[in-house]
Chain A
Amino acid sequence: MQKFNTLKSIPAYLPIVNIDTDMIIPKQFLKTIKRTGLGKNLFFEMRYDDNGKEINDFVLNQEPFNNSKILIAGNNFGCGSSREHAPWALLDFGITCVISSSYADIFYSNCFKNGILPIILEEEKIKELSEYANRKEEISVDLNDQKIIYGNNEIKFEIDPFKKKCLLEGLDDIALSLKKSDKIENFENKLKDKKPWVFND
């Protein structure tokens, strides 16, 4: 997994609430057996017309937002399906940081598995930051210090310390858990004794 440390970009602002994973990446693109290549279909239905032509009004089709690494969006971002294709599509497009006032749980957790930082801020601050998108000015994100720097201001954000560590170091969850193999085995042995039916034996 790609490490996340600091990031500087003009943010793109999508002022829609409840952006669901069907909007982020529609089902016709879930037929892939790969993790890559989904960026061109990110927000497909808002981004292209019926003939596959880019819709000029859509923010990610406009300069400089077509190169944004930061996406600011309305609350409850990523609701709906568990599809990890949603963060894969964001990542493949180049977005590695999302800022919203809230996220759906599964999407939130999926981001961290892919080196994407989902930041939670109050609505008021979201509006303030969105001004930078409107003015096409850069903002910076510093994960280590847990802050966003914009103009002469900065704002702190909260993040789970373990998730932060994994992002900063690009750690592989599975490798970390496999270090606890003894504990897993121990648990399994007790389980066989206590609930023998669980193992289908």
Chain B
Amino acid sequence: MKKLVALVLAAVMLLSLTSAFAEAEKPTLTLWCIATESDANRPAYEKAIPAVEEALGIKIEWEAFENDSYKTKIKSTSADELPDIFFTWSGAFAGDFAAAEKIYCLDNEFPNYAADLPEVMLQNSTYGGKHYAVPLTMNIVTLFANMDLLKQVGYDAVPTTYEDLIACCDALVAAGIIPFGCSGNATWCVTEYLEPIIEKTIGYEEMNEIFAGRATWNNPAIAEAVDTFQSMITKGYFDPDGLSLDNDTVKANFIAGKYAFYQNGSWNCGEINDAEGNFQAALFPVMNSEKATYGQVIGGPNDALAVSAASKDPDLAAKAAFALGKEICHYGYLAGSGLPAWTPDYDTSAVKPLVADVAKMVAESEGMVLFGDNAMSADPANVYLSYVAKVYGCEIDGAGFIEALANELQ
């Protein structure tokens, strides 16, 4: 018996070894991304990949990882273990890879696609004047509203002033409806609320300066914004369960009609648009009209594909990355999992209404600030996130928040 088990094991190990040497006929590229089963971008990848395989006569072996674990995984993978093409966030995140020359410069391939891809969309992944990543879609923080619930308390439109929003929330609470849902399990979800509030208090120019490390966090207006956010939490505007729920559950709760509002990335547009119910997209209202305007948004072209510098055929991988970027953008836009970074050369009449609304907001935007955790490099971004996490649980107040960040980041 023991010998049999040993034999079987030996056979299994041998098989797995030999399979590693099996060769494929077509050139094969590997791809890592975060388009897991539950991710809004999944359908776009599922359509784009076969299309690109067909067009370029290649085979793409792809694997999807969960968002949070992907961040650590991609950073802890040594250069020669990286797949040929991988999803990355632009800004400082991809900047680390570019600085270490772990990703391949795409300047040779870019001119072939420049007609469809405005150069401004590459600005978040351009380092030292060189382009290092292919943008997919762009996204902004969007305030989604369940109009059926708003109607119950007498609102036909999403409030556009802060006073009106508070009055609406009070009415909702009085009617036994929870105004907002926010996941406390993933800190980036909290930033989706906090960053627009800060932006609408201090204005986008100042906020960009702070994220870039050129202005101090020690700004009483930020403390005021944090206190505003916390006053909304303590007044019971947020579902307390959210503290230990993950984002997918919170989103499912919103779609199921448990919350009146859900503020998160515009990549949710398609899913919310298709759900049963009457939903609208809006922006967070202005808190300080001297510094900010309604049209200022948080976001930008943030999702991108990079090519590993250690790829066996980086030029082919670069070609595939651009082709994939274009197709993922195309299908993502139509599915409503993002706004186009590439100029559409296809029929856009089928774009979902909610997506079209957000696209309009972007087109008319009066200022843009990149998501904080992408604008800053790894260490400051995570220090920032660790304090944002404490804000949601009301463990520190506004004054504590700015003091701590000023202390540690400047």
Note whether A and B form a binding pair: no
Interface, chain B (partner A; CB < 8 A): none
Interface, chain A (partner B; CB < 8 A): none
